[in-house]
Structure 1
Amino acid sequence: MKKNVLALSIAAMIGSLGFAGVASAGTVITNPAPGAALEVTPTGIGHILLVPYFSTQNGNVSLLNITNTDQTNGKAVKLRYRGAANSDDIYDITIYLSPGDMWSANVSQVDGVSTLVTNDNSCTLPADVNVRFGTARLTAEDSLADNKAGTLEGYIEILNMADVPPGSALYTSIKHVKQADGSYVAPCATMPSQKTDLADYPAAQARGYDYPTGGLMANWSIINLDKAGSFTGDATAIIPDGGANIVFSPQEEEATVTAAAAALLTADPLLAAPTATLTAKNYDFPDLSTPYIGVIAPIDQAHMLSHALATASITNEYMTSPDVGFATDWTFSMPSRRYNVALNYKTSPASVVYATGGAYFTAANVTRVGDQICVNSKFEDLEYFNTEEGKKTTKPGGYVVSPQRPGVKPGLNFCGETSVLTFNNPLAEDQATPVLGALIARQNLQMESTAGSTDVYTDGWMSIKTAGNPGVGGDLGLPVIGHSFAKALAFSASLGGIWKHRTSTTNIVAVP
């Protein structure tokens, strides 16, 4: 992997000194036995967890359970919800899980804004996390009336920042204690202050922290009681192939972080120098580009994550049979895109800002359309089949996408960070998708049997090439995760299913 010499010099300083001299700007403490790569683990248990979609649109409620399967060590966990349009931070907290602990919450729409509610007894920072999602990062102005719709869909990041081994005051504070009524409650009120960063490894140990060892798993559900529907799934789990770094930042906003200091912690082009347009706060860190293994720059961490998720194609099935009123929505989430490209709402019109050294999303495959970033595709990238071997290899005029966004090249394009595709259900400009009720970044694909025909393939499967930008000796692919959600709308009770996208690493290469 190509390294920037200056970035490596800075990262080396971080590994040996923490952030000494940079007050309250977060900490990266390098593991002495670092890994060299990140990988998706089939066990579903890891250090980094990704929930590809949540929604409170159209009566949906999204539930989340995070479990610490480590029965020895506690975990300091960063939880962040990001918006579907452009990965903007809309809610983030720190959770302290004791050994074997589980934290649960639900997110629903209250007065038009996604709002999290939990009765869980695990310690959190802040202490009260039952609040509505924030809107300040969604446009140039923090106007709730204008921005609240941007909180209703998106995806979730979960990161093991550090372990909390037995023996410290911090461990004692987060360890659940049996109460007189038989419940178990953590004495969080006795937790030592966490408003300062960690100078170095001895300081981290003294405070009760150690290198993260993973062991996290998460399950999610999207439930709609009004429509008697529910979908469930497990988070995509990422692990390093060696030791992980401590990546801690205070969960507070009192101190601002300079763009230069932010550049040591993130590749987000809106937070990091030289392209920063937002004032970073301590709660912005860590994110998924904060150096998690070895002595590397944030953009290299982002590339590692992208490579772990990259696929050359996405394949799944769809059902739209009119006999039982079936409908199908597909989701496409790109959780590393923010560390390659972002949208600056402070300009008019909003402008695309690229991370220095970004590779997976660049001007070669990205287009701005209104207030969303779109990843381009071509007609020939897509082919679909019915259930009887009928094959449609697409070409211009070979299928119809609605609504077709002005300024986007013809074809199936991934607009928004978490894009939803529905099948054989032409969408008006303000019409939600039939299964998930998606509104922020959605489109319809009309599966014509022949170009211009009113006859469509109602059931079958589809494959989309996602080669992305070219690398050396292959393609980088696109880091995409998601599912096919199918439901029989004609029945009052839920009847349908959810299937993960099938992916391919054929000819996929890492950033050189």
Structure 2
Amino acid sequence: MKKNVMALSIAAMIGGLGFAGAASADVIVGTFAGTSTAASIAAGTLAKPTATNLEVTRAGVGHALIVPYFNAQNGNMTVLHVTNTDQVNGKVAKVRFRSASNSDDLLDFQVFLSPGDVWTAAVTADANGLAQIVTADNTCTVPALASGTPQSFNNSSARLPSYLTEAQRNALTREGYVEIFNVADITAVKAWDTNGALNAAGPNRSPLYNATKHASGVAPCSVAGSAARTLLNSAAIADYTTELAAATAGLDSSTGGLMGDWYIINVPQTTTFSGAATAIVANTGAGTAGAIGNFRHFAQLGNNLVTGNADGANGVTADPLFRNLNVFDAAGAKVTTAALTMLNYDAPDLSTPFFSAASSANTLLQSTNLLTALSVKSITNQYALDASITAKTDWVFSMPARRYNVAANYAAVTGTTGATGPTTANAKYRLFTDLNANGTQAGEWFYPAVSADYTTGAGTYKAGGNTTVDTAGNICVFADGQKFYDREETSATAGPVFSPGTASSVSFCGEVSVLAFQDTGTSVLGASVARNTVTSGFYTNGWGVIDTTNAAQGLPLVGEAFIKLSNPQAGTGVSGTYGINWAHRFTK
């Protein structure tokens, strides 16, 4: 199928993205050992998970993808490509856009990829500064993204700070990162009869497979009002609580195989940056890739989540805003009432168990696994500030797993400083999930900024003090140090000053922070949600290393250096602006 979004000038997203209704769902752990067959599917079983570990893979193909940064600022457009490299089975993928500020959910939906399929979409800002998405793709989504029709991100005060104006909430939608994960496979096994019923001797693939499989470049489910579209909608909002229910629908356990790419393009400024999504693979303890993971499909509904596991929402997420177990505020006090009600479309997330049963303990273990996989102890990259070519540099630092250890509770805000942020970041503003479930911070990544120990009833929650809150309400963590070099071996460890203020160390404020070099104006990316600037103490061109040891745990960081430059010899009518980006190098 032809998928070209380069010519799109606007993009938009679905706000709300939920349906009314009731559902009770959970993670399903398959019981059939081996690759599914017609007999196993007809018997109502799913493939048994073989995965035991999560890791970031350089191969670029996995069960989950992270696009570390999207940007719709200053005329930028971000384009996404998601590829199903599995040439046999289809994939149900969950796509979720999160804000750069504090990882708030801006939009989520499901994409149904047929074997070898590619889904593409573009994100820009509308006339009011609200992010929006558009696609010209025939791959089916639920809710449906109509081809060429812009629809907006969600700027509701129900999830974004209610103390901000609408324009300020719109600004929070223009930068962030994207989570994409395989929640279920669409099996290619032939186990259905001519009436669409399960039958081991049946000669047909499932109705869902046929509804999503492209024919002459068009997926049948993309036709509005068609029977295939009705079937797809039903599959996306169905309540799968048993293996039989999932198998009957033509679904199976997830096997990964997703590949992602992104680029940020600014047509008026003739600048493009591009990269591959960070891939997370569920593998075996021996490191074998392509392992089988859990079935993790939840109904795309906007009603309260009701799960089948004994721990409720605690069994499907480590997000401290949705939990009422093993959560503490910044004063060390135990939290027993969830700050937000988890809705069906909030699940799954990256902390929902990939390869173990849904339970509070397993969700905490998965988050620890994920944070460990992403953590690095230093970040290294280049910068260029050569005035002769008008060189500018931004470094982007994305922490896509931070939400599962600490999150911002906007409901704790009682006033504002001007109109930019909370008056006081009180103790209940920062909520922390105790990933050890033992009341200690040992081995965790983010923990309360208090100076005493607090008895919690589950042990002693020790203070570490490595997080703060800036005036905009972004949660911050500081690097342990940094060293900048020029290109001739000269270096400096002291002297760099980071704005705002006179901080002498890099701070990662927000879930996706941008560090601009020297340029206090628009800089390379036009970032404004969570940004600071190196204002002095650097060299014209060179490289730098930032220490993120963080008491031996490291910090869960991914990102890139973005450099923009121009050719002063370019003549009238000739593009002379260029973009270069390099992924951060790191140590583990």
Q: Is residue 116 from structure 1 mapped to residue 210 from structure 2 by the alignment? A: no
CA contact (8 A) 1:135 1:142 kept: no
Which residue is 1:80 aligned to? Answer: 96
Deviations 1:79-130 (A, max 9, x none): 0000000000001100000001111100110021000101211111112364
- SS of match in other structure, 1:252: coil
Q: Give SS of 1:346's match.
A: helix
The answer as to whether partners of 2:272 and 2:578 remain within 8 angstroms in 1 is no
| Structure 2 equivalent of residue 390 of structure 1 | 490
In the other structure, the counterpart of 1:134 is 154
- How far apart are residue 261 of structure 1 and its match? 2.0
1:230–1:494 CA contact under 8 A, matched in 2? no
Q: State the match for 1:403 in structure 2.
A: 500
SS of alignment partner, residue 172 of structure 1: helix
Instruction: Confirm or deny: 8 A CA contact 1:26 1:247 kept in the other structure.
Output: no
Structure 1 residue identity aligned to 2:352? T
Distance, in Å, in 1 between the alignment partners of 2:518 and 2:161 is 33
- Asked if 1 retains the 8 angstrom alpha-carbon contact of 2:304 and 2:341, the reply is no
Q: Counterparts of 1:218 and 1:26 in 2: how far apart (Å)? A: 28
Which residue type is aligned with residue 560 of structure 2? H
Structure 2 counterpart of 1:264: 315
1:330 maps to: 395
- Which of 366, 390, 396 aligns to 2:467? It is 366
* d(CA) in 1 for partners of 2:391, 2:163: 41
2:306, 2:477 → 1: CA distance?
31
- Post-superposition, which runs of at least 4 consecutive aligned residues in structure 1 deviate over 6 A? none
Residue by residue over 1:219-248, the C-alpha shift from the partner in whole angstroms, topping out at 9 and shown as x without a partner, is: 101011111111011101110113311111
Query: Which amino acid letter does the alignment assign opposite residue 368 of structure 1?
Result: V
Alignment-derived partner of residue 198 in structure 1? 240
User: Residue type of the partner of 2:207?
Assistant: A
In structure 2, distance between residues paired with 1:462 and 1:413: 15
Amino acid at match of 1:149: A
Q: CA deviation at 1:155?
A: 0.4
Task: Using the TM superposition, give the Cα deviation of residue 189 of structure 1 relative to its aligned residue in structure 2, in angstroms.
Answer: 1.4
Q: Deviations over 1:179-235 (max 9, x none)?
A: xxxx42333414251323211222211111111111111110101111111101110
Structure 2 residue 351 is matched with structure 1 residue 309: no
Q: Which residue of 2 aligns with 1:494?
A: 577
Shift of 1:366: 1.0
CA distance in 2, matches of 1:172, 1:272: 39
Where does residue 65 of structure 1 map in the other structure?
81
Q: Secondary structure at the match of 2:256?
A: coil
Give the whole-Å Cα distance in 2 for the aligned partners of 1:390 and 1:145: 45
Q: In 1, are the aligned partners of 2:467 and 2:477 still within 8 Å (CA)?
A: yes
Aligned to 2:435: 357
Aligned to 1:457, what secondary structure does the other structure show? coil
Unmatched tracts of structure 1, length 5 or more: 1-22, 449-455, 506-512
In 2, Cα distance between equivalents of 1:197 and 1:493: 55
**How many angstroms apart in 2 are the aligned matches of 1:221 and 1:96?**
22
Q: Is the 8 A contact 1:327 1:489 kept in 2?
A: no
TM-score (norm 2): 0.74
Matches within 5 A, 1:460-479: 460-468=542-550, 470=551, 475-479=552-556
Distance 1:267 1:64 in 2: 27
Matched residue, 1:14: none
Q: State yes or no: 1:419 paired with 2:528.
A: no
Instruction: Provide closer, same or farther for how the CA distance between residues 257 and 58 of structure 1 changes in structure 2, counting only shifts above 3 A.
Output: farther
Residues 1:147 and 2:169 aligned together: yes
Q: Which structure has the larger Rg?
A: 2
Which deviations, in whole Å up to 9, do the C-alpha atoms of 1:313-372 show, x marking residues without a partner? 000110001121101100000000001111111122451111132721212211112311
The Cα shift of 1:25 comes to 4.2
Measure the CA separation in 1 of the matches of 2:125 and 2:63.
Answer: 30
Question: Aligned residue for 2:220?
Answer: 186
What secondary structure is seen at the aligned counterpart in 2 of 1:482? strand
Shift of 1:138: 1.2
Change (3 A) 1:43 1:240: same
User: Number of aligned pairs?
Assistant: 454
- Whether contact under 8 Å (1:275, 1:353) holds in the other structure is no
**Aligned partners of 1:504 and 1:293: how far apart in 2?**
27
Per-residue CA deviations over 1:265-304 (Å, capped at 9, x if unaligned) read: 1111111224521122111011000011224521211111
Structure 2 unaligned regions, length at least 5: 1-21, 31-47, 189-204, 222-227, 285-291, 325-335, 414-421, 437-443, 449-463, 569-574
Given that 1:66 and 1:103 are in contact with CA atoms closer than 8 Å, whether structure 2 keeps it comes out as: yes
3-state SS, counterpart of residue 307 of structure 1: helix
CA contact under 8 A between 1:174 and 1:191: conserved in structure 2?
Answer: no
| C-alpha contact 1:265 1:298 (8 A) present in aligned 2 | yes
TM-score (normalizing by structure 1): 0.85
Q: Which residue of 1 aligns with 2:12?
A: none
Structure 1 residue 494 displacement after superposition: 2.9
User: How far 1:173 sits from its partner (Å)?
Assistant: 1.2
Q: Which residue of 2 aligns with 1:249?
A: 298
Say if 2:70 is the partner of 1:54.
yes
> Structure 1 residue 163 and structure 2 residue 185: aligned?
yes
Distance in 2, matches of 1:158 and 1:304, equals 18
Are 2:440 and 1:440 equivalent residues in the alignment?
Answer: no
- Which residue does 2:199 correspond to in 1? none
Contact 1:268 1:338 in 2 (8 A): yes
Cα separation, 2, equivalents of 1:64 and 1:335: 17
CA distance in 2, matches of 1:463, 1:113: 35
Given the superposition, is the C-alpha separation of residues 345 and 138 from structure 1 closer, same or farther in structure 2, using an over 3 Å criterion?
Answer: same
SS of equivalent residue, structure 1 residue 67? strand
SS in 2 for 1:184: coil
Structural RMSD (CA): 2.0
| 1: CA distance, partners of 2:271 / 2:170 | 25
Task: Give 1:486 shift.
Answer: 0.6
1:176 matched to 2:176 = no
CA contact (8 A) 1:229 1:493 kept: no
